[in-house]
Chains A and B, each alone.
Chain A
Amino acid sequence: MRQIGMATALCALMGTHAVAEEFKWAGTTDPQTLDPHAVNSAPVLGFLNNVYEGLVRRGKDMTIEPALATSWEPIGEGEGWRFKLREGVTFHDGAAFDAEDVQFSYERASGEAADTRSWFSPVASLEVVDPYTIDIKTNAPNPIFPDSIANWMIVDKGWAEANAAATPNKEEGNFATLNANGTGAFKVTAREPGLRTVLEPHDGWWGEAEHNITRAEFTPIQNPATAVAALLSGDVDFINPVPIQDAARLASNPDVNVIQGIEARVIMLGFGHEAAELKYTGDAGKPNPFQDAKVRQAVAHAVNVPAILQTIMRGNAEPASQLVSPAMRGYSEANAARPAYDVEAAKALLAEAGYPDGFSFGLKCPNNRYLNDEAVCQGVVSMLAQAGITAELDAMPVQNYWPELREDNFDMYLLGWSPGTFDAEHPLRFLASTPNAEKKLGSWNFGGYSNARIDEMLPIIQSEIDDTKRQAMLDEAAEILQDEMAYVPLYVQPLVWGVRSNVEMTQRPDNFFILRWVTVN
């Protein structure tokens, strides 16, 4: 009798196991919006990669593979690219996908209101050839163009227009901020900003499902210790990131696996280059010392990166010397050395620049965006103090942080950058080009750094097919940025994911969590 009872219980257990594969995960940051063109940041794009799709997508090894386009080929002598679109694809609401949607999404994502417009700076025009063929004409030959549009997600034209969301609205939001209608493997069935977002498989998806999930729920958990506790107790199946101080302890727990890797993201300090005056502290209104490259170099010498890596990052990160990590294409081997930690050199540079007694300024920092971001900023403040300059730290959640930066409310700030194309050209376009809304350049260059030679080289780098020549120019750009210390690169952020041991998944170096590669055993 007892055995039968056991067997029934076992059956019941296995039965529920096979039927409903609920997957719950938690992250520090809630995606600010569900609009794929409103905010160009990894938490948003990474999350929406499960819901929306682009013409191409990245595979487990980051290679480009077909998604909504089945094939593509260059047109003529570097005039552009022709994409053949996939037939029989439907959006979550059942509408059919065709070239009209691609054209609409191009206009939507490259328009003035879109945060993603820098992606389209090489594009001259998009032409519809037939309902399943489009031509994208580029300003100059662009060999890496298909690599650069994996995060350009396609929105249904009819849906967006019917819901008054034909243009993205970053500040106030619109229908597309809270609702999504993509072609991806998962559809959003519930969205409560800051609380939870529920995804369910899209039955009409064109692809072959690798996952076995029937329902997935994302919850933002801001407190890292709470997230760890939730993972250990099984309340969630996956957390990203694992607080770096807890990685060792979690790894020793048999119920949990820690997946560790090096992210493509470089953490750096940025400056107000354009501002004529300091904006914060008692020195507000005085001339901005950061306009002088010597002061920026002094900052680079004053920050003890090995100490940050040793204590705050617990030996889990690598120092960075330029805007991309060594794993990226176009990394400059010639500029691999980072300015040494040398307080005396920093003081000498400050004296040379005319600030022997230092000065004080405001440092802005997010407190829930990067691993231990606020702790890193606090460390930077005390290191700068030892070199004689006083920083007043203002740390805030990322929802407030980007608007502050966009309004130029900083003297110095912390930024992490992960090149979406995995190429050194990407940060040049976003961070080092003179900001130019019309040419869609420098859209994340908050400080307004400007260098004529870099502006001149960027289009040549974008169209250069010869790898040696291209690398020579990327080396030159890296050298300029290092000499002028436009940004102070600190370190390459590690990726630390924590997952219950009954779950299998793939970690991609861009820190995107792809739900369709998850299997719950």
Chain B
Amino acid sequence: MSTSIGLRLRNALDSDFAYLFLRSPVAVLSAFVVIVLVLAAIFAPLISPQDPFNPIELNLMNGFTPPGTPNAFTGESFWLGTDDQGRDVFSTILHGMRISLFVGVSAVSFALLLGVTLGLLAGYVGGWTDTIIMRVADVQLTFPAILVAMLIFGIAKGITPVEYRDQMAIWVLILAIGLSDWVQFARVVRGATLVEKGREYVQAAQLIGRRPGAIMLRHILPNVLSPVLVIATISLALAIIAEATLSFLGVGAPPTQPSLGTLIRIGQGFLFSGEWWILLFPSLTLLALALSVNLLGDWLRDALNPRLK
């Protein structure tokens, strides 16, 4: 057993993929940043010095402490400073990143599931199914994704009762971003499915009488997954930015569960008054996160594209 895992690992490290990865400093660096940020987000409750959303731990007198200097009243010192409520900016960033990543990953997973299913159906079944699915996709493509997300968010907010709005906000956000993003997956998968459908292995599977569902899932899906992986990575960066945009506009994550976008919105209020750290550090974190995920996606696209080799 252990030798087989060892063997697999060795095979993986010997593969072209790993070779290309290790030879690209950009890929290594961005993967490193992504891993550090994701780990920091996952273990935020353990590593953040303060739980910024537990009011008992906050002291208003710590408000507006600049980074690294002790507070004039309490003498406490904070690595990245504090906001107006005396919350440690470092802790709010860790917790905010958790929400940003959670929303991003969930929204992309949702979009992926929806887009791949519809794309496979459209490509394999064809006919009316194809026409309807792809025309809906075309119509949706004519609207900017962020507008679609805002529309869905607005409708969902309108129909949820006021008491549940804050609790629902995160799920509505995932739904809104996911629904605005499935089209790319559907288009790519449909295209690839159309190509694969004519191949001999699919005809062979049809001849031995496998059911269409099994053919789509077992035979075609594995062969169309590599472009999906690329899109998913790039979509993740876009979803994180979309979430931040919505939250920045005040329609996303509520102040009780602030994401990076919400933190940037809050920090923007102190832009003119000299408390730059409340705005700067969440913004830099968002930049680092989105940029490294995006660079990783770019590299993945090049690495998985046979034509560029």
Contacts and interface: CB of A to CB of B under 8 A. Distances in A.
Contact of A311 (B64, B255, B270): B64
B230 to A, nearest CB: 38
A414 B183 CA distance: 46
Interface stretch (A115-123, A178-186, A378-386): A378-386
B55 A375 contact: no
Interface in B241-281: 255-256, 268-275
A396 to B, nearest CB: 8
A289 interface: no
Given A311-B84, A375-B84, A383 B272 contact: no
Contact of B272 (A225, A307, A374): A225
A308 B255 CA distance: 19
Contact of A249 (B59, B73, B86, B273): B273
A312 B60 contact: yes
Interface in B43-74: 54-56, 58-61, 63-64, 73
A228 B256 contact: no
B129 interface: no
Interface size class of A (residues with CB under 8 A): 20 to 34
Interface string A73-93: 000000000000000000000
Contact of A382 (B60, B166, B273): B60
Q: Which of B59, B60, B84, B271 has the most CB of A within 10 A?
A: B60
Given A311-B84, A382-B85, A393-B256, A304 B60 contact: yes
Contacts of A304: 60-61
A258 B1 CA distance: 76
Contacts of A395: 255
A214 interface: no
A307 B73 CA distance: 10
A245 B60 contact: no
A385 B55 contact: yes
B269 A307 contact: no
12 contacts: A225-B268, A249-B272, A249-B273, A304-B61, A311-B60, A311-B63, A312-B63, A378-B85, A381-B55, A382-B55, A382-B56, A390-B55
Interface string A301-333: 000100110111000000000000000000000
B272 A228 contact: yes
Contacts of A311: 60-61, 63-64, 84, 86
A245 B275 contact: yes
Interface in A269-303: none
A385 to B, nearest CB: 4
Contact of A225 (B55, B85, B256, B269): B269
Contacts of B270: 245
A352 interface: no
Contacts of B268: 223, 225
A229 B59 CA distance: 31
Interface in A246-268: 246, 248-250
For the complex of A and B, 3 pairs with smallest distance between CB atoms? A311-B63, A245-B273, A382-B55
B71 to A, nearest CB: 10
Interface in A212-250: 223-225, 228-229, 243, 245-246, 248-250
Contacts of A248: 273
A356 B31 CA distance: 51
A112 B55 CA distance: 43
Interface string B63-107: 110000000010000000000111000000000000000000000
Contacts of A381: 55
A243 B266 CA distance: 13
A285 to B, nearest CB: 14
B60 A379 contact: yes
A248 B270 CA distance: 13
Given A382-B60, A385-B56, A395-B255, A246 B85 contact: no
Given A223-B269, A243-B273, A312-B84, 5 more contacts: A245-B270, A304-B61, A311-B61, A374-B255, A386-B56
Nearest to B62: A311
Interface string A383-403: 111100011011100000000
A379 B73 CA distance: 17
Contacts of B269: 223-225, 243, 245
A390 B61 CA distance: 20
Contacts of B255: 374, 395
Nearest to A379: B60
Contact of A246 (B58, B59, B166, B273): B273
A452 to B, nearest CB: 36
B274 to A, nearest CB: 7
Interface string B12-23: 000000000000
Nearest to B272: A246
A246 B64 CA distance: 14
A29 B96 CA distance: 29
A386 B272 CA distance: 32
Contacts of A385: 54-56
B60 A249 contact: no
B175 to A, nearest CB: 23
Contact of B274 (A249, A312, A378, A393): A249
Contacts of B54: 385
A228 B166 CA distance: 29
A245 B63 CA distance: 12
Contacts of B275: 245
B64 A382 contact: no
A73 B231 CA distance: 81
A383 B271 contact: no
Nearest to A279: B163
Nearest to B279: A225
B61 A310 contact: yes
A248 B255 CA distance: 27
A379 B274 CA distance: 21
A128 to B, nearest CB: 47
A394 B272 CA distance: 27
B78 to A, nearest CB: 14
Q: Which has the most chain B C-beta neighbours within 10 Å: A228, A245, A391?
A: A245
Interface in B200-228: none
A68 to B, nearest CB: 42
B271 A225 contact: yes
A308 B275 CA distance: 17
Contacts of A390: 55
A376 to B, nearest CB: 10
B247 to A, nearest CB: 14
Contacts of B63: 311-312
Contacts of A384: 55
Contacts of B166: 394
A379 B82 CA distance: 14
A310 B86 CA distance: 12
Contacts of B272: 225, 228-229, 243, 245-246, 249-250
A379 B85 contact: yes
Interface in A428-472: none
B84 A382 contact: no
Given A245-B270, A378-B85, A308 B55 contact: no
B21 to A, nearest CB: 43
A381 B56 CA distance: 9
